[in-house]
């Protein structure tokens, strides 16, 4: 990736990402109308993860920026998941 | 070497962007802590949380989601417009973003107002008589969406500064770090809402 050339997102790309985000919102809202129980939680969180990845990659420009910024996102997520997992283990097996 | 100054500013911009991102990581962890609290309380009060989720207005939540997504789009487009030298278009798109923020806050006001009328706000007599799980749900609902709403207000103020700086030519097609960083903050607001929305409005 060329470090010195600044990448400018095209309006069409931005619009496409927005459209995808709106469609995903539509999917996640309509899924709640079916009573899927625990499965619904998984779908809602999965859609949220896909949406946030789209926002981070394109809107927040991570795809075109220094990869150290993306690496730190993974570190933040790793810290967060370890805390969630450790705390839940504590509560489940207490 | 015409590129010398431009090159120098680019390197400077990279540093300021890294600084902005470091701040955004701490913001993610701040909300991460709240999501952790939410998961544990939900785990322990699954039924109450599912029941209370039904009492939130899904319509308002969905509209606000679309409004925030649209505002994220207009911010990204304003950055594109400015970098192509279209100053006026950039300003118009930023104004559109702030209008979206206002719509979001007005919706939030009506939503909260309704909850206040029902008396399910922390500290009210009705709230104290609620079952434990319901109380925790509304406590987290008000705290997390409230903290998010503060971020919406702060983000709008930052964007107002960006508009003023574009008008004063302090932000230019060759010097746009503040514009991009302000945009990043706005996208973070959107990012957090992407998770708040399913957790409170969708998961029943």
Q: Say what the ipTM of the complex is.
A: 0.91
Return the H-helix or E-strand segment holding B2. none
A7 touches chain B (CB under 8 A): no
Give me the pLDDT at residue A2, please: 39
* Residues B79, A9: C-beta atoms closer than 8 Å: yes
| CB within 8 Å: A28 and B202 | yes
Tell me the shortest Cα–Cα distance from B83 to chain A, in angstroms: 7
- Residue B1 has a pLDDT of 47
**Which 3 state secondary structure label does DSSP give A10?**
coil
| pLDDT of amino acid A3 | 46
Instruction: Provide the pLDDT confidence category of residue A88 given band limits of 50, 70 and 90.
Output: very high
**Radius of gyration of chain A from its Cα atoms, rounded to whole angstroms:** 17
Among candidates A44, A59, A65 on the partner chain, residue whose Cβ is nearest the Cβ of B203 = A44
Residue A1 has pLDDT above 50, yes or no: no
| Residue B175 φ then ψ, to 5° | -150, 90
Question: What's the rounded mean pLDDT across residues A4-25?
Answer: 92
Query: What's the pLDDT band for B11 if we cut at 50, 70, 90?
Result: low
A39 against B117, higher pLDDT: B117
Q: Encode pLDDT of B70-107 as tens digits.
A: 999 999 999 999 999 999 999 999 999 999 999 999 99
User: What is the rounded CA–CA span in Å between residue B91 and residue B100?
Assistant: 14
d(CA A56, CA B201): 23
Report CB contact under 8 Å: A48, B10. no
Note the pLDDT of residue B195.
Answer: 96
Q: How far apart are CA B77 and CA A47, in angstroms?
A: 24
Domains and CATH numbers, chain B: 3-202 (1.20.120.80)
Structure tokens at B138: 């509304």
Distance CA B169, CA B163 (A): 10
Question: Percent of chain B at pLDDT above 70?
Answer: 95
**Low-confidence winner among A36-50, B22-36, B60-74 (lowest mean pLDDT):** A36-50
A17–B70 C-beta distance less than 8 A: no
Determine the distance in angstroms separating the CA of B178 from the nearest CA of chain A, rounded to an integer: 14
pLDDT at position B110:
95
Mean pLDDT score, B26-53: 94
A4 touches chain B (CB under 8 A): yes
How far is C-alpha B81 from the geometric centre of its chain's CA atoms? 22
In percent, how much of chain A has pLDDT > 90?
74
């Amino acid at each position: 990736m060329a470090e010195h050339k600044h990448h400018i997102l095209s309006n069409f790309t931005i619009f496409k990402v927005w459209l995808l985000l709106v469609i995903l919102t539509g999917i996640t809202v309509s899924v709640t109308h079916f009573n899927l129980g625990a499965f619904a939680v998984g779908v809602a969180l999965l859609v949220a993860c896909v949406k946030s990845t789209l926002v981070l990659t394109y809107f927040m420009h991570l795809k075109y920026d220094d990869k150290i910024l993306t690496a730190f996102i993974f570190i933040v997520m790793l810290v967060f998941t370890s805390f969630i997992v450790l705390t839940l283990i504590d509560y489940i097996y207490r | 070497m015409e590129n010398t100054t431009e090159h120098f500013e680019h390197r400077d911009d990279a540093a300021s962007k890294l600084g902005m991102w470091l701040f955004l990581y701490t913001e993610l962890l701040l909300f991460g802590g709240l999501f952790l609290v939410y998961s544990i309380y939900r785990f322990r009060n699954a039924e109450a949380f599912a029941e209370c989720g039904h009492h939130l207005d899904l319509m308002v939540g969905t509209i606000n989601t679309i409004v925030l997504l649209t505002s994220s789009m207009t911010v990204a487009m304003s950055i594109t417009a400015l970098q192509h030298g279209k100053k006026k278009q950039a300003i118009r798109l930023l104004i559109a973003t702030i209008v979206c923020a206002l719509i979001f806050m007005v919706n939030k006001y009506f939503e909260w107002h309704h909850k206040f009328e029902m008396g399910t706000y922390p500290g009210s007599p009705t709230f104290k008589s609620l079952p434990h799980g319901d109380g925790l749900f509304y406590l987290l609902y008000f705290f997390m969406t409230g903290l998010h709403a503060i971020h919406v207000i702060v983000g709008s103020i930052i964007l107002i500064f960006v508009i003023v700086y574009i008008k004063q030519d302090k932000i230019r097609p060759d010097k746009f770090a503040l514009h991009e960083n302000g945009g990043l903050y706005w996208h973070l607001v959107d990012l957090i809402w992407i998770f708040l929305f399913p957790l409170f409005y969708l998961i029943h």
